Each structure stands twice: as C-alpha cells, then as structure tokens.
C-alpha cells in the first residue's frame, strides 16, 4: 500500500504487487523449510499439484510443475514470466519479466521498462530512452509472441470436460487431505 503512490488495488505490475508468497505443505518426500526465489506464476500451481498427486499433466497447460525447483534439480522453470490484466480496448496491459528486466505494455500505447538489477524498486522508467531501444524491442518481441499465443488464456479447468479425470484428481486430493490431517485440526 502506497508503493508508487498507489493506495488502491489498481492496474500495475510493480514487484510488491507481483511477488506474492506461496507456501505449500506436503508430507513425505519433499524437502521442508525450503525458500525458493525463482520466478514462478499462478499458472504453475495446477501442474505442480498434479505432480504432487502423482497424476499426469494435462495437455495444453501453460504452466510448469515447480517440483523440480523444490527438489533442487533445477534453479527455475521459466526464463521469463508473463502477466496480463484488463480487457482488450479497455485498460488492458501485459507484462514480461526476466531476471534482469521488466517490460509492461499498455494497449493504449506506451509502457514501462525497468532494469531490475540497477533499479529493483522500479523508480526509473527507461521505456522512452533511446539508449534502451534494442532491449525494449527484444522484450517487446517476446511479449507480443506470448500475447498472440495466449491472448486471453482460458481458465485452466479442462478437467470439467472429462468426468473420469476429474474424479481421479478429486480422489487423489481427498486421499492426500486424509494423510495430512492431524487430529483436532481443521483444514
């Protein structure tokens, strides 16, 4: 609250709004007390849960399971993370973040570009600076490619279309809940 003089939940992709903590508790087989600082996305939750439940991944999902990062097999699952909000033609913006850079593009024109290594608080917008035109161009290409591939990504609920898969996932989840419940504790 108050970051970048924003006192309401507005349209912005600044780090304090984007870096939301994720806490997962899994019994058996996964390292506990581990902090991971990799760039991940909400779209990674379903593939992660499917893997933790020992279920095959669904075809066509955008996300990646975070289990390899959690187990220390890899450092990250994404080289860049994308996000979009709003509606086309009405306050829509899209964002691409790499470990070093963040580019936000507004459908109405213009945008924001930040060098996150030098400016982690995103105070110096480099979008219009000619010195950074090639970086802006390269990031814009990646962002446009993602935006064409996933213009309005569908909700990741293909399971409703297949009753058997839906029942299998519900059964695996219910079994997991029973294994992790402790007496006198409500989940």
List the beta bridge partners of residue 94. Answer: 84, 105
Measured CA to CA in angstroms, residue 177 lies from 26, 163, 172, 174, 181 at distances of: 10, 21, 9, 5, 6
* Mean pLDDT for the stretch of residues 90-108: 88
Helical axes 163-180 vs 45-52, angle rounded to 10°:
70
Asked whether the beta carbons of 101 and 113 are under 8 A apart, the reply is: yes
- Most confident of the following: 24-28, 106-110, 125-129, 163-167: 125-129
- Does 184 or 64 have the greater pLDDT score? 64
How confident is residue 10, by pLDDT bands cut at 50, 70 and 90? low
pLDDT on residue 26:
82
Kindly tell me if the per-residue pLDDT of 117 is higher than 90: yes
* Mean pLDDT for the stretch of residues 28-57: 85
Q: Where in the chain is the domain with CATH 3.30.1120?
A: 81-149
What count of Cα atoms within 13 Å lies in the side-chain half-sphere of residue 137?
A: 6
Domain with residues 81-149, CATH architecture: 2-Layer Sandwich (3.30)
Kindly tell me if the per-residue pLDDT of 53 is higher than 60: yes
Average pLDDT, the chain: 80
How confident is residue 107, by pLDDT bands cut at 50, 70 and 90? confident
Q: CB neighbours (10 Å) of residue 32?
A: 7
């Amino acid at each position: 609250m108050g970051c970048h003089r924003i006192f309401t939940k507005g349209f912005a992709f600044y780090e304090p709004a984007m870096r939301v903590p994720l806490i997962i508790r899994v019994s058996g087989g996964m390292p506990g007390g581990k902090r991971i600082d990799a760039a991940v996305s909400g779209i990674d939750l379903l593939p992660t849960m499917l893997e933790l439940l020992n279920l095959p991944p669904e075809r066509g999902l955008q996300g990646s399971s975070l289990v390899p990062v959690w187990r220390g097999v890899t450092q990250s699952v994404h080289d860049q993370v994308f996000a979009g909000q709003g509606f086309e033609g009405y306050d829509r913006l899209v964002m691409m973040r790499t470990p070093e850079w963040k580019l936000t593009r507004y459908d109405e024109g213009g945008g924001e570009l930040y060098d996150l290594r030098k400016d982690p608080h995103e105070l110096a917008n480099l979008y219009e600076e000619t010195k950074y035109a090639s970086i802006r161009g390269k990031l814009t290409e990646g962002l446009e490619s993602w935006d064409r591939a996933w213009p309005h990504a569908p909700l990741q609920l293909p399971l409703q279309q297949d009753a058997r898969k839906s029942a299998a996932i519900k059964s695996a989840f219910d079994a997991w809940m029973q294994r992790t419940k402790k007496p006198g504790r409500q989940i």
